[in-house]
Amino acid sequence: MGMESYFFTISISNDIMNYDITKNFFEKSCKVGPYLAPSGKLFKRYIKDEDRFTIDNKAVVTIYESEKQTDVNFSLCFSNYSVNVEYIYNISKQISDLSKSDSYLILLDKKYQFNGMEIKHFKELLLLSHKEKYNIFITNYGNMNIDILPQNFYSYINKIWL
């Protein structure tokens, strides 16, 4: 992910959580779409990545499962930051609430207890972790207030600025 995006992970112990339960939650709660990555070729072609998917045209989701935990990684674009931070907090809370075990917020190299975390604290931690990138984004592009998936941001910018 580049300067246009931020990311974090919700890590949940595998008491009843696994890949299928987590993916099923998204399919019932969100508009799930394929993750289409630009091919980087001269002509516009997209490559479908089977390991990732999009939700509500706001975030890219990747689910990792191990014996002990299920990790749900979210990547979002700064283009609609204030709205999407609340949106993704609510989605993360719902996923966390599916499990009876502890869940954790992982930001860069730090791990925080997510169970019972208030949205205000979530916002503070997220901004603290990505403050430099956020400030650069705001300086370069301003508050855009539009949902754009991270992988589509520069295509969008090129269209509106050309």
pLDDT tens figures, 63-116? 999 888 999 999 999 999 999 999 999 999 999 998 888 999 999 989 999 999
How far is residue 14 from each of residues 63, 102, 110, measured CA to CA in Å? 13, 10, 20
User: With 70 as the cut, is the pLDDT of residue 14 above it?
Assistant: yes
How far is residue 92 from each of residues 26, 40, 134, 154, measured CA to CA in Å? 11, 32, 21, 27
What is the pLDDT, as a whole number, of residue 39? 67
How far is residue 41 from each of residues 37, 45, 124, 130, 144, measured CA to CA in Å? 11, 7, 39, 30, 27
E-state strands within 98-146: 103-107, 110-113
Q: Has this prediction a pTM greater than 0.85?
A: yes
5-9, 64-68, 158-162: the lowest-pLDDT one: 158-162
Mind listing the pLDDT tens digit for each residue in 24-62?
999 999 999 999 876 666 556 777 888 899 999 999 999
- Let me know: does 102 contact 93? Beta carbons within 8 Å: no
Find all residues with CB under 8 Å of 118, minimum gap 6, and list them.
none
